[in-house]
Amino acid sequence: MIIESTISLLLLLIQVPATALLLSRLLKGPRRYPPLQPQQPTPDMLGRVSVIVPTLNEALRISPLLKGLSRQSYEVREVIVVDSRSQDGTPDLVQAAQQQDPRFRVITDDPLPSGWVGRPWALHNGFLFSSERSEWFLGMDADIQPNSGLVASLVKTAQTEGYDLVSLSPQFILKYPGECWLQPSLLMTLLYRFDPPGIYTEEAERVMANGQCFLCRRSVLASINGYMSAKSSFCDDVTLARNIAAAGFKVGFLDGAKLLKVRMYEGAMETWKEWGRSLDLKDASNRAQIWGDLWLLSAVQGLPLIILLAYLPMSSSPYLPISLVLGLNIFLLFIRFALLLVIAPSYDRKNAKGGWLFWLSPLADPLAVLRIFLSAFHTPREWRGRKY
């Protein structure tokens, strides 16, 4: 048992500090800003917001977004869809929406310049074409399904809390068994690495953001030359938010599960390939941050299940280090299952096949952490059909 005790001591050295760091973040949860609720605009908000939507072959997903944006009130001045030469009729759907709501218009961005990723390039073009009379720039993805009162709630919250930039975490729509099992584990890697949504983070390098619903003061975006500072980033939302926070502006990341839903990817394979591609956030982080996050995720999310399976045959061992490792990892697995109750409102599983697999998603944690490792050491060469 000498070898087992030595290994146990090494595991304790790795896991105990990581557990303390995790608890320091999770214990902030009760102080977080409550989930945003739909609100009605006030007259002073008239025409304050320009909405920008980047698209590339989104015909199968964009209709709920167009309908949801048409239900937003007079706070929305314009909705600019920046299309990157879709071949599936996406611009036709926007033009049809324009017949019912003149606030919609579609533009085609210029050919992608060298050094740019498609999404920040489209958003940058949308910013340049948006009205200077708008106070707020709101970037939204084509797969978002917004509720009425979303934009008014965002603007009111930003004004009340003094945010220059605020983005929202959505409610994710699940449909198939594989994604019900895998996707919550991938999302949990973010919850472990960062403060919960609704906790204000002063350290720019630890700021979190979600470009699916991303509200920023137009003057702030103009002061940093639009999306230029995030032009080559595959996680442009986090990169831009951290650059804005580093410039001295107030950035918030809040719970928007009651304001918007999103259906991101179809099935486990697409979830693994696409959702995990930018979760490492390496384009927004330095090397030390990346390695620190990988250590944390390995210690408190990836290893506990594996360690428990390996240590259960030694559960009767009299050696203290072995008992401590076993107890620590039981504790970590208990935390992980308890967090399912916390994130459950972030998922719409009403029409999901195998929705019960959500409650077994901790069993996918080793795979989720492996996905972060693979992404952290691989530069994407393709995104949304574009090669880089």
DSSP per position, 53-114: EEESS-TTTSHHHHHHHHTS-TTEEEEEEEE---SSSHHHHHHHHHHH-TTEEEEEPPPPPT
Show the tokens assigned to 363: 């069993």
Instruction: Look at residue 344 and tell me if it is in a domain.
Output: no
Burial of 263 (0-12, 13-18, 19+ CB in 10 A): middle
- CA pair distance 144, 125, nearest whole angstrom: 20
Q: Are strands 76-83 and 171-173 parallel, antiparallel or unpaired?
A: unpaired
Q: Assess contact for 286 and 350: CB atoms under 8 A.
A: no
Averaged pLDDT of the chain: 93
Q: Assess contact for 261 and 149: CB atoms under 8 A.
A: no
Contacts of 326 (CB under 8 A, 6+ apart): 308, 311, 312, 314, 315
Instruction: Look at residue 103 and tell me if it is in a domain.
Output: yes
- Closest C-alpha among 268, 297, 287, 236 to residue 19: 297
Helices (H), the chain: 2-26, 63-70, 90-100, 118-129, 150-161, 177-193, 218-223, 236-246, 267-270, 287-297, 304-311, 320-343, 365-376
Where does the pLDDT of residue 90 fall: very low under 50, low under 70, confident under 90, or very high at 90 and above? very high
Q: Assess contact for 120 and 211: CB atoms under 8 A.
A: no
Please count the structural domains in the chain. Answer: 1
Q: What pLDDT, in 10s, does the model give residues 21-47?
A: 999 999 998 999 999 999 999 999 999
Q: What is the pTM of this model?
A: 0.92
Q: What is the CATH number of the domain that holds 224?
A: 3.90.550.10
Contacts of 183 (CB under 8 A, 6+ apart): 172, 174, 271, 275, 361
* Mean predicted confidence (pLDDT) in 62-71: 96
Instruction: Look at residue 331 and tell me if it is in a domain.
Output: no
At 350, which amino acid appears?
Answer: K
- CA pair distance 372, 104, nearest whole angstrom: 38
> Could you tell me the residue range of the domain that residue 88 belongs to?
44-171+197-266
Contacts of 270 (CB under 8 A, 6+ apart): none
Contacts of 103 (CB under 8 A, 6+ apart): 76, 77, 78, 79
Q: For 248, which DSSP code?
A: T
Specify the pLDDT at position 381: 67
Of the candidate ranges 127-136, 227-236, 277-286, 373-382, the one whose mean pLDDT is the lowest: 373-382
Where does the pLDDT of residue 266 fall: very low under 50, low under 70, confident under 90, or very high at 90 and above? confident
Specify the pLDDT at position 8: 87
Residue % of the chain over a pLDDT of 90 = 80
Residue predicted with more confidence, 231 or 383? 231
- CA pair distance 55, 62, nearest whole angstrom: 9
| Distances, alpha carbon 378 to alpha carbons 135, 229, 233, 278, 373, in Å | 38, 21, 14, 10, 9
Instruction: Look at residue 1 and tell me if it is in a domain.
Output: no
Instruction: Look at residue 7 and tell me if it is in a domain.
Output: no
Residue 383 has pLDDT above 80, yes or no: no
Residue 149 has pLDDT above 80, yes or no: yes
Q: For 298, which DSSP code?
A: I
Q: Is 383 helix (H, G, I), strand (E, B) or coil?
A: strand
Q: How many CB atoms lie within 10 A of CB 189?
A: 23
Instruction: Look at residue 140 and tell me if it is in a domain.
Output: yes
Burial of 91 (0-12, 13-18, 19+ CB in 10 A): middle
Instruction: Look at residue 33 and tell me if it is in a domain.
Output: no
Instruction: Look at residue 334 and tell me if it is in a domain.
Output: no
